Amino acid sequence: MTITTDQLTQFRALLKNEEKSAATLNKYLRDVQRFALWLGDTPLERDAMLDYKADLMRHYAAGSVNSILAAVNGFFRFMGWKDIAVKLLKIQKALFCDERRELTRAEYARLVSAAQKVGNERLSLVMQTICATGIRVSELRFITVEAVTTGRAEVCNKG
């Protein structure tokens, strides 16, 4: 078994039909193509996929490994090659980030002040909004003039 351009085109059509975002669609295809390049002339068998998983674990964080494996496993399911798919890594969820990565109040104030000093009001407001609300950067687009005026923002992101 090999991975062909025609199969990738069909997989792309499936992802599009499933209403995946353009970024997700491109990432999945890129991950499958990267696997195909890594595979080269090696037979497409479960052992090869286990070797690929081990290789990924040497170069990427666990979350990234799982993201890549999810894309490749999804392609295998689409092709009916379920016996080649591998399990994702088990990751223990951390409810909070490491305190050493958190900004102190003084660091936050210094960043906001620095943005204001260089005349970057937008950056200052972005930092204040994220820190005050805890929203993700990808959710900033929902903070509009109307949302600020009404005191309410409706966020539709990641389901």
Looking at residue 2, its pLDDT comes to 79
Q: Are 127 and 112 in contact (CB under 8 A)?
A: yes
Helix (H, G, I), strand (E, B) or coil at 143: coil
Q: Which residues contact 35 (CB under 8 A, 6 or more apart)?
A: 3, 52, 68, 72
Listed range (3-7, 123-127, 129-133) with the worst mean pLDDT: 129-133
| Amino acid found at 122 | R
* Residue 145 tokens, joined: 């003039």
Q: CA-to-CA distance for 87 and 70, rounded, in angstroms?
A: 9
| The overall pTM is greater than 0.85 | no
